[in-house]
Structure formats: C-alpha cells, structure tokens
Amino acid sequence: MKTTQAAVIRENGANFTFEEVTLAPLGFGEVLVRNIATGVCHSDIVAANGLVFSPRILGHEGAGVVEEVGPGVTNFEVGDKVIMGFNSCGLCGSCLSGRPFACESFLPLNMLCQRLDGAVTIHDAHGGEIAGNFFGQSSFAAHSVANVRNLVKLPADTPDELHKLLGPFGCGLSTGAGTVINALKVRPAESIVVFGAGGVGLAAAMAALASGATCVIVVDINDDRLTLAQSLGVTHTFNGMDSDLVDKINKATDGGAHYAIDTTGNMKVVRTSHEVLRIGGTTAMVGLSAPGTAVEFEHMGILDGRNIIGVVEGHAVPQVFIPQLLDLYKVGKFPFDTFVVQYPFEKLNEAIADSISGATIKPVIVF
C-alpha cells in the first residue's frame, strides 16, 4: 500500500480538495510513477463538471519517474523518465492494427475511472473509495498507477526542466499535432485553417508549419492569442467575430482551404470550418462538446466533396508519435514551451480558473 497526496473532486463542479490517499498494490502490467508535473487539459475541466463517479481523481497529462514496476512489466525499470498518454488494451482489432486511439475498450480504460475488471484502486483516509485510473493515470496526484500501454519512455538524459513541461505531449499537444500529421497528413504548400488558438489549436498550427504548409490560418475571438499565434509564424490570423471571416479565408486560401480543424467544440464554428474548405478539402472535428449535441451541415457542401472526419487523440500511437514531437521541438519546429505556464500543485484550482478564462493557454502543475 502506498500513500500519496492527491487533488480530489468530491462533487460535480466543486473545487479540487487536497487529500492523502492510499493506492492499491500494483496489478499485472501496472507501473507506479512519481509525478514531477502534469498538464491540465480541457477534458479534465469537462470531467470535473460532469462525470457520475464521485469522488474522483482526474489528470491525464502526467510526467514523472518510475518508482516501482508491477508483475509482468519487463520494458520499464525504476528510475525511467516517462510521460503518460491515453490507455488502450493492446488486444483488440484496432490496437493490433496500430490504432490504439480507436481501442474497443477506450471508454472503460480511460473514462470509467476503475480497472477493467471493475476494481477501485484508490481509497481516502477513512477507507472510502475514490475513482482513479482516469486515462490510465489520474495524474492530479503526487503518484500515479499507470500501465505499460500508456507509458512513454523519455531519453535518460532529458533535463528535468524540460521533462516537467512534457506532460501535455500525452494528450493536448499530441491531439493537435497528430490531427495534422497523422490524420489529415498535411503536405507542403497546402493550406489549413485552425479554429481555436488554445493548446490543441496552436499545436496543430505548429505541426502544419513543420509539415510545410504555406498558408496556416488561425482563428480565435481572443486577440492576444492571435498575437501569440503570429509569433509562432502562422501566415494569417483572423478574429472569429469578423463578419467577413469566410470571405477573408477564401481570399487568403485562393478559393478555400485544403484542411480545417475545429478545436472549439462549438457547433457554429464546426459548420464554419466546413464552409471554408475547397472542394476535396477535409475538416477535422477535434473539440469536445456535450454528448448528444447535434451539428448541421449544408447538404450541397458535402455532396460537392468536402469531407468531415472526427479525430481522437491525434490518431497517435503515443510511443511512436511523442518521440517524434520531441524531435520537432529539439530542432525548433514545435516551440510549445512559449505558451506553457507552470503552477505549484496547491494552485491547481487557480490553474484551472486561468485555463477557463483564457488567461493561460496551457497550465502545467508542478509537484
């Protein structure tokens, strides 16, 4: 039994409270990670307000060091530097075909906050059950029980200061960059419009530039974020409230974009992201909205050959894609650290408030 400090949500919409919790002994294929930092992702905020499992520990962009390995673990050892991505089963048809983001057990492994066999692995100081295993990690805690399937090993010489910033590679930044590189497969001299200049959107814009796109447009309603996007080298920025937005994008892309990405989850924006495409273009829906939300598209716009795809986790295999993103960072083509702001663990509630208000693009909690 291992005790550790964790940030717990006791009811929907409540603040996180800081508690000592007890972690169950490691099961088969599990790894105990001492977290040094964790990103805060939009899905944490959604899950803090609307999951049925209470109390619970969220967090799914953890970065840490392996402290103990469970039975059956042969590819990690104590002291390995790791970051944590999403979990997958490794056994279903999707996983066996190299598509773990489409794992048949994605929902139970990442969202149901328990082991696949239903076991609860975390208890509070009074012995009460706490839901954990969020994205196979629940990293809003000083320690996580992770799994060999969602751990990514970093080079042993990764400096601590960099390691602390890399948690967001586990979800938000992989989602944005992976949508461009793995799902849309943007090629040199193509055009792309990114709606929403948060962490996911800016990662998508940087990946498009790294892929050789020569027209990279970022749209947001926050002018400060547009200024930041310009500093990353995007070719155009437009305010989403601009009444001539679609015309301006058409002009900038010479008749419509090859690709668009919606990171906002706002259905009006999703529709606009489809309207700015050229024939044969593709819009990728990435932003999370409430389950059951309907979206409407103009029928001829689709019949003409403008495509729509949904992308989960950037169609990434974390152990393959995250090292690639790290290489892009090392050669200056993925400068994500320009929009990361670090907060101490005890300021998690403040970090989340700043993320919601837009004051901070990508909060990282440091333990």
Query: Whole-number minimum distance, CB 60 to Zn ion, in Å?
Result: 5
Query: Whole-number minimum distance, CB 361 to Zn ion, in Å?
Result: 14
Count other Cβ atoms within 10 Å, centred on residue 108.
Answer: 17
When the beta carbons of 256 and 363 are compared against Zn ion, the nearer one is 363
Residues in touch with Zn ion (CB under 5 A): 41, 43, 88-89, 92, 95, 103, 171
Give the type of residue at 1.
M
End-to-end CA distance of the chain: 21
When the beta carbons of 27 and 108 are compared against Zn ion, the nearer one is 108
Query: Whole-number minimum distance, CB 181 to Zn ion, in Å?
Result: 18
Query: Whole-number minimum distance, CB 95 to Zn ion, in Å?
Result: 3
When the beta carbons of 253 and 263 are compared against Zn ion, the nearer one is 263
Query: Whole-number minimum distance, CB 135 to Zn ion, in Å?
Result: 7
When the beta carbons of 4 and 43 are compared against Zn ion, the nearer one is 43
When the beta carbons of 110 and 253 are compared against Zn ion, the nearer one is 110
When the beta carbons of 277 and 361 are compared against Zn ion, the nearer one is 361
Query: Whole-number minimum distance, CB 188 to Zn ion, in Å?
Result: 29
When the beta carbons of 171 and 365 are compared against Zn ion, the nearer one is 171
Query: Whole-number minimum distance, CB 16 to Zn ion, in Å?
Result: 17
Query: Whole-number minimum distance, CB 354 to Zn ion, in Å?
Result: 17
When the beta carbons of 170 and 256 are compared against Zn ion, the nearer one is 170
Closest to 192 measured CA to CA, from 230, 225, 229, 234: 234
